[in-house]
Structure 1
Amino acid sequence: MNRRDFLQNTGIVAAASVLLSKSAVSMASTKNYKMGLQLFTVRDEMAKDPIATLKKVKAMGYQDFELYGFDNEQDSYYGFKSSQFKTILDDLELSASSCHYGFSPYLERSESALVRFVDQCIRGAQALNSPYITWPWIAPEQRTLDNFKRMAGMLNKIGEQVAKAGLGFAYHNHGFEFEEHAKVGGKSGQKGFDILISETDPALVKLQMDMYWVMHSANTTPKKLVEQHPGRFVMWHIKDMDSLSRDYTELGNGSINYLNILPDPAKSGLEYYYIEQGGNFAHSSLESVASSAAYFQTQLKTLI
């Protein structure tokens, strides 16, 4: 091949590479995620005036929410019947893609009580047109290996019940799932997370990754977890960790470098993400979610 042909061919390859690169960027950006907020972050404001609070966080750029505090006997969220709260969201052009429901007590209750509770959660989620029901937490005294094994079976049954209703079901991690339990019979100690992820059906039980707790307690990174379990983490919680206290803090103020640890959304199976800060606000919850929204929009939004 002479120099002229070589230059022509390499030029074609270079041009093709640019086109492929642009195409890849275009494909990556076709999933237009709404900026989400876990409303527990502004629980003090939601307790005072839910509608005014929703308007304020909407003005910051939040469009989608994960709820908490469902009253299953009253079929209500934040004091409003499910259908009323859906109307409020619709009027504000907002959505609620998930809610954290109070499953923890049902580890101690009958199977029929659990089935009834799940049915109530399903009715609430359907009224909101909310695609996910999420198990968020268990009490400290419940965090035993036997309970994690029981939970795996429960999660599968709940996931099956929820799937039959046309909805998705997920489990949300904290840090305690990554704690190693005492060694038994010379074997290395087990972790609750390993039990839950290995003994649940990926088709029925998805995972909501709390990235703060992964960085705080798991001795790994969100990116590595996704590499190990692709397609399983359909939701993310994004929050930062104070460099000294390791408590929560506003995005961009802490020690978690999301530019380095954010997983590939497609490989993760990501459908929704929520910014969250459980406490330790610099001034107030509303100022903190405004600060986090500004940081996310300028620094991280293009990565998701």
Structure 2
Amino acid sequence: MLRSEPAIANKYKPRFRFCALLLLSSLLIQCSPIPTVERSRDLFVDEPLVIGAQLYTVRDAMTNNIDGTLTKISNMGYQTVEFAGLFGEDPKRVGQLVRSLDMQVIGSHIDAHDLRLRPEKVIAETKALGARYMVLAWIPAEERQNLEQWEDWIKIINHVAEKAHAQGIGFAYHNHEFEFTPISDSSRSIEPFELLFAKLNPRYVDFELDIYWTRFAGKQPEAYFERFPGRFSMVHIKDMSRTNKDIVDVGNGRIKIPEIVAQAQKAGVRHFVIEHDNPKNPFETLQRSLTYLQSINPRSSQRGRQRHGET
């Protein structure tokens, strides 16, 4: 029997109502003022930078007088330090010294062979130092020639990082330029840096992006912050000469530091570590670089002055 149009309309009215409610709910959600993830990241842009010194910059002074060197760095207004070796010192004593100077140990660069062969020792030393992160900053050239070797390192890093996490220690990978050179095997060609992002466990492994080495390789640091927000715990702040590829004091070179810092903050980065591999005067370099970085984030400068009782 043929049904009348009103009968058909009555039959499907509940379905029409249901679909209309779904559509309305969808529109309300899209228009609601609930902050998006991206918007919440933007809040970091107004936060003061937490500025640290990579102690490789002052390695000779650290060898001769570690207590005096750390005291000078604290007096400059640095909030954190990152170690690149302990110079034969007891990690517990050094960590206590850093904290007594009103600084924190944000990270400690570790040796690749120790990571592979003596991971428990590395974790114990990092914990005794009181470092927030253990950082792998260099893989020997002969151990990164092919993708099989890189896959092996990824397994090692994931395994040790999970163990470190259980001890309350984070893990970060620090790049140089070689991670951006594609490596091929019989089935693929890929940059090791892309492989690391794809296969390192984000639950246990962060990254410490060195903006100088990233630019040295012809890449843009901002692009990685945009692509991988939340994956970077620290950033190495270094600058490149306007006339060649030499490292110069932060603010004296061609790298667009303010733009990079702003993008890093949007990606959730709070810790910025100043470094110079071969400075003529290490302490002057650290002071000038700190002053410049504070100048692009006045709240960081104010916080540093308050820490030392200045107004």
Please say whether Structure 1 and Structure 2 have the same fold, judged by a TM-score greater than 0.5: yes
Alignment-derived partner of residue 100 in structure 2 = 91
Mapped partners of 1:303, 1:290: distance in 2: 14
Identify the structure with bigger relative contact order (alpha carbons < 8 Å, sequence gap 6+): 2
Mapped partners of 1:191, 1:143: distance in 2: 12
Mapped partners of 1:151, 1:246: distance in 2: 29
Alignment-derived partner of residue 50 in structure 1 = 66
Alignment-derived partner of residue 200 in structure 1 = 200
| 1:297 equivalent among 288, 294, 303 | 294
Q: Give the letter for the 2:119 counterpart.
A: V
Mapped partners of 1:148, 1:241: distance in 2: 28
Given that 2:238 and 2:247 are in contact with CA atoms closer than 8 Å, whether structure 1 keeps it comes out as yes
Q: 1:238 to 1:124 in 2, by over 3 A?
A: same
Mapped partners of 2:283, 2:300: distance in 1: 25
Question: Are 1:40 and 2:40 counterparts?
Answer: no
Given that 2:211 and 2:238 are in contact with CA atoms closer than 8 Å, whether structure 1 keeps it comes out as yes
Partner secondary structure for residue 127 of structure 1: helix
Q: Give the letter for the 2:53 counterpart.
A: L
Matches within 5 A, 1:145-224: 145-182=147-184, 184=186, 189-217=189-217, 219-224=218-223
Deviations 1:50-82 (A, max 9, x none): 11111112222212100011xxxxxxx333212
Alignment-derived partner of residue 29 in structure 2 = none
Partner secondary structure for residue 54 of structure 1: helix
Q: What's the TM-score once normalised by structure 2's chain length?
A: 0.76
Given that 1:175 and 1:214 are in contact with CA atoms closer than 8 Å, whether structure 2 keeps it comes out as yes
Deviations 1:24-58 (A, max 9, x none): 99954775443201000111111111111111122
Q: Give the letter for the 1:261 counterpart.
A: I
Deviation larger for 265-274 or 156-165:
265-274
Alignment-derived partner of residue 130 in structure 1 = 131
Partner secondary structure for residue 207 of structure 1: strand
Mapped partners of 2:170, 2:202: distance in 1: 11
Partner secondary structure for residue 62 of structure 1: coil
Q: 1:25 to 1:200 in 2, by over 3 A?
A: closer
- Aligned CA-pair RMSD: 2.5
Given that 1:100 and 1:136 are in contact with CA atoms closer than 8 Å, whether structure 2 keeps it comes out as yes
Partner secondary structure for residue 52 of structure 1: helix
List gaps (5 residues or longer) in structure 2: 1-39, 302-311
Q: What's the TM-score once normalised by structure 1's chain length?
A: 0.78
Partner secondary structure for residue 176 of structure 2: coil
Question: Are 1:100 and 2:97 counterparts?
Answer: no
Deviations 1:217-248 (A, max 9, x none): 1x432221011111001111000011222021
Given that 2:232 and 2:268 are in contact with CA atoms closer than 8 Å, whether structure 1 keeps it comes out as yes
List gaps (5 residues or longer) in structure 1: 1-23, 70-76, 108-112
Structure number with larger C-alpha Rg: 2
